[in-house]
Structure 1
């Protein structure tokens, strides 16, 4: 495999302003792809998330990594904006789209962790479903015909947790994340006859910009936050998730994964990639071990 196995390929990464989406876009760029980067935060306007990261910054990082980043500010709940986005890709890339990554989320401010369904704000819960699930449906509806026309390609639905995971602790969040997994499985069924693969993919404890800010650390000093949350010792950078997507996209036999619910730690073992620091965090193995007995007896370094 070459250092840039995705040279000539075209990707759309929705929700790529920051976090996992940015990590995916940059790593696809590092593998040589042209990457359309979307999100609601720009150099002139912030989304309701009110974060400083922008789509333009992500596109620049894609280009700096070796690919070609193209920022297209898009609200994926706006059908007209998504239609125009896909029409632009169709026009500029002569109908070519190889990789679709549905990563839109935006649900953190809407998630309530300490109340049952009937005590949560209904409007916020329904908006969470629209932002976290309907955005994916709208984007796939418009973009999938480009992949189907070429009878090849990869769809990645980014979620939290795997298909066999139990209740995530709060109704609307659980419904959104499990719904995205089911969306991947359903698309896999529709796409199989057309040579296109669809999967769901989860990171472990993602060390996003917002998570670093939450703990008051930086990417260089993130280990200082382990005392506040021991599980943070197993956190992974967005690059790890990005390398998982890049590995899938470069796999000529990627159809073997069609319809499956995958995880970064699983694919790292399969494809041999590492996180940005050279480690290979196994969140699933570590978390499982802590749940089986006294978590104090589990050494995180045994799972990196």
Structure 2
């Protein structure tokens, strides 16, 4: 029997072969990268979102689509399946999970990466001056979508032991003890941390694990081409505009960490916890595309401490020391 014919062939480089993942919010950024890396590990990945090649969501970016994500998953070695889904519509989410059950008979990994609310946030506005409709939609996009998706996905996920639920947010539990102004953003990014903690309690009796996961300063497509006017190849030019950007990371970094977590048979030790891309890098030895291991949250904490210390603080923290 040749190696290619062996029943164990490929397990080392395809540890998620036979596993089924749903990445909700997989159109771009971390969601797209996580879907691809789960596929690279061998998983079948359902990539959902609102932007397709036929329809663009309210965000207004036609460049990235769920079909494009699914094709990248397949090209990486997995099986990518694009399913247009508005995760604020329970009927659509229920139909999505009915399809996963019909086609796969199981769900092993749920990644709640749904967001899409940045354009609605009034970053410098106090709560009472913030547009109410925009603020409430921020909460719907950042919190309600996660609740609706978990409601319909978890019953399928807990049918087999070992399921993993990942609540993606911005900021670790330690860092988000700070107020992440404005109020609506703070609520939207704190809620997934609490959801992971609560789901961890409820899932523990079903052999499943829930975690919150935060990338650092993410070089998403929007961050690169809209905010800094650079590309992934030229991202360091953005640090000339804002020196702190030197601690940023590509979506691949958190995606590699997630894939390693999903393949870890002992991942239950993290149940209910908040993890960052840097935490996963330290745990599993993964790196960003350039071989570095950025730790944006540690850098920001030290930078804030330096600013509080004032004139006696000494040299400003260097973001390069946190890579």
Same-fold call, TM cutoff 0.5:
yes
State whether structure 2 residue 239 is matched by structure 1 residue 226. yes
Q: TM-score, normalised by structure 1?
A: 0.97
2:271 equivalent in structure 1: 258
Q: TM-score, normalised by structure 2?
A: 0.91
Inter-partner Cα distance in structure 2 for 1:159 and 1:205 = 12
Cα drift, residue 127 of structure 1: 1.0
Q: Is the 8 A contact 2:216 2:249 kept in 1?
A: yes
Cα drift, residue 285 of structure 1: 2.3
Cα drift, residue 190 of structure 1: 0.9
1:178 pairs with one of 184, 190, 193: 190
Moved over 4 A (4+): none
Within 5 A, what are the aligned runs for 1:78-227?
A: 78-94=89-105, 96-164=106-174, 165=176, 166-213=178-225, 214-227=227-240
2:316 equivalent in structure 1: 297
Within 5 A, what are the aligned runs for 1:38-117?
A: 38-51=48-61, 52-94=63-105, 96-117=106-127
Inter-partner Cα distance in structure 2 for 1:295 and 1:5 = 47
The gaps in structure 1 that reach 5 residues or longer are: none
1:3 equivalent in structure 2: 13
Would you say how many aligned residue pairs link Structure 1 and Structure 2?
Answer: 303
Cα drift, residue 296 of structure 1: 5.6
Q: Is the 8 A contact 2:22 2:45 kept in 1?
A: yes
Larger Rg over CA atoms: 2
Inter-partner Cα distance in structure 1 for 2:305 and 2:103 = 53
State whether structure 2 residue 269 is matched by structure 1 residue 239. no
The gaps in structure 2 that reach 5 residues or longer are: 1-10, 307-312
Partner SS state of residue 280, structure 1: coil
